Amino acid sequence: MANLWAEEFTAEERLMAEQAVLQYRALREACAAAPQGKVLAIAERLAVDQGREAMRVQLETALQREAAEAEKKGARAEPASSVRPSGPTAAVKRATSSRRRAR
């Protein structure tokens, strides 16, 4: 693992590092306060919840940064195109197979 120095972090990276430390501290506190026999269950639940929230924040931050950089470059102002499925959707397949069974 590379050595990371806080002085080299961007503002977003510092925020992520601070959040990781706070999440770790909250996890330690929850484990210390958990009743005997419930530590693992409580720790796992908290870790999963914290992980989801951390990923959401990281994704949001990264996408906001990309959007800001695209704006600076003068990106085209048009809606993103959606990708259409190449074959019938699952709902169409279910409806079709239901009609066959009804005959």
Q: What is the pTM of this model?
A: 0.60
- Please choose, from the candidates 65, 54, 47, the residue with its C-alpha nearest in 3D space to the C-alpha of residue 15: 54
Residue-level pLDDT at 34:
96
Q: What burial class does residue 99 get, using C-beta atoms within 10 Å of its C-beta: 0-12 exposed, 13-18 middle, 19+ buried?
A: exposed
Residue-level pLDDT at 85:
64
Residue-level pLDDT at 38:
96
pLDDT digits 0-9 by tens, 5-57: 777 888 889 989 999 999 999 999 999 999 999 999 999 999 999 999 999 99
Q: How confident is the model at residue 71 (pLDDT cuts 50, 70, 90)?
A: confident
Residue-level pLDDT at 47:
96
Residue-level pLDDT at 18:
93
Q: Which residue has the tokens 């005997």?
A: 36
